């Protein structure tokens, strides 16, 4: 089955700068609004990540400690675990292999994370497909978020980027957070699991670096 992936953005320069972003059309031409929204999503994700990494230098800051407690169930001693993950994502976004793909509806037939068509799943925020040898595919974010919900588009992008570039996991309802980031959807995730949980990183970044 051909997915409805219509646009992809690629970062083009390395060496720590985000660089130019290039649009690639497939199958369906997206208008200026979609182009702009896709680009703004990626740029906002990058600035969110940068600001969050900057915060990690301020281990004494209460705002940082509170966020680490909420999203990682840990104290400031977890910073050396959190920082390398975020830096892997930052590096991934600047090494020329960045891509964002979306589709033309939010409820089209999607595939789940195992590459299996899942038309009984009405709504998927985003995904990366697992490739050979542990590699990960392109970052997908639903068009509905890209066009209508910048916060969730950026959060989903960062979530998927941690899968792609830092090999994070999901832990089901125990690992996914409520949309407002106030708490996990179900209790039970451990601190150790949080430190490898994609949504913990995504909402942590949104709390610390999203402007
Ligand atoms: Zn995930």
What are the CA-CA distances from residue 31 to residues 94, 105, 124 (Å)?
26, 14, 23
The answer to whether residue 39 sits within a structural domain is yes
User: Tell me: the pLDDT tens digits for 68-90?
Assistant: 999 999 999 999 999 999 999 99
Q: Dihedrals φ, ψ of 76, to 5°? A: -60, -20
Residues in the chain: 211
Burial class (CB in 10 A: 0-12, 13-18, 19+), 149: middle
Least confident range of 11-15, 31-35, 70-74: 11-15
Confidence of residue 126 (pLDDT cuts 50, 70, 90): confident
Q: Is residue 85 part of a domain?
A: yes
Determine the average pLDDT of the residues in 18-41.
Answer: 66
Residue 111 pLDDT more than 80? no
List the domain range (segments joined by +) for residue 73.
Answer: 7-209
User: Model-level pTM?
Assistant: 0.83
**16 — pLDDT class (breaks 50, 70, 90):** very low
Query: How many angstroms does the Cα of residue 172 sit away from the middle of ligand 1?
Result: 9
CA of 60 to the centre of ligand 1 (A): 30
Overall average pLDDT of the 139-166 stretch = 90
For the chain, the average pLDDT equals 80
pLDDT reading at 97 higher than 70: no
Tell me how far the alpha carbon of residue 2 lies from the centroid of ligand 1, in angstroms.
22
For 77, counting Cβ atoms within 10 Å of its Cβ (0-12 exposed, 13-18 middle, 19+ buried), the class is exposed
At 106, the pLDDT band (50, 70, 90 cuts) reads very low
Is residue 117 in a domain? yes
- Write the Ramachandran bin of 185: left for phi over 0, alpha for psi from -120 to 50, otherwise beta: alpha
CATH number, position 130: 3.40.390.10
Q: How many domains does the chain have?
A: 1
Ligand 1 centroid–CA 57 distance in Å is 27
Q: How far is the CA of 187 from the centre of ligand 1 (A)?
A: 18
**Cα–Cα–Cα angle for 180, 78, 189, rounded to 5 degrees:** 50
Does 1 reside within a domain? no
Residue 2 domain-assigned? no
pLDDT at 119 over 70: no
Kindly state the helix (H) or strand (E) to which residue 101 belongs, with its residue range: strand 100-102
Which H helix or E strand runs over 79? helix 79-94
CB 48 within 8 A of CB 205: yes
- pLDDT one-digit tens code per residue, 196-206: 999 999 999 99
CA of 75 to the centre of ligand 1 (A): 24
Q: Pick the residue with more confidence: 36 or 22?
A: 36
Cα 170 to averaged position of ligand 1 atoms, centre (Å): 5
pLDDT for position 24: 55
In a domain, residue 169? The reply is: yes
* Residue 126 belongs to some domain of the structure: yes
Percent of the chain residues topping a pLDDT of 70: 73
Q: Provide φ and ψ at 139, rounded to 5°.
A: -80, 125
Question: What are phi and psi for residue 9, nearest 5 degrees?
Answer: -110, 135
């Amino acid at each position: 089955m051909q997915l409805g992936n219509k646009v992809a953005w690629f970062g083009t320069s390395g060496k720590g700068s985000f660089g130019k972003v290039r649009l690639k059309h497939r199958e369906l031409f997206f208008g200026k609004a979609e182009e702009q929204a896709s680009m703004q999503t990626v740029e906002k994700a990058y600035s969110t990540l940068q600001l969050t990494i900057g915060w990690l230098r301020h281990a004494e800051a209460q705002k940082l400690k509170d966020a680490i407690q909420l999203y990682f169930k840990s104290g400031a001693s977890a910073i050396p675990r959190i920082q390398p993950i975020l830096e892997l994502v930052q590096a991934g976004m600047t090494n020329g292999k960045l891509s964002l793909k979306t589709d033309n509806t939010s409820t089209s037939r999607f595939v789940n994370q195992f590459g299996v068509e899942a038309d009984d799943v009405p709504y998927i925020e985003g995904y990366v497909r697992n490739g050979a040898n542990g590699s990960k595919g392109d970052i997908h974010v639903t068009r509905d978020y890209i066009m209508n919900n910048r916060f969730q588009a950026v959060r989903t992008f960062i979530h998927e980027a941690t899968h792609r570039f830092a090999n994070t996991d999901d832990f089901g309802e125990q690992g996914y957070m409520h949309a407002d980031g106030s708490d996990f959807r179900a209790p039970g995730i451990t601190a150790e699991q949080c430190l490898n949980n994609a949504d913990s990183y995504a909402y942590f970044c949104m709390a610390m670096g999203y402007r």
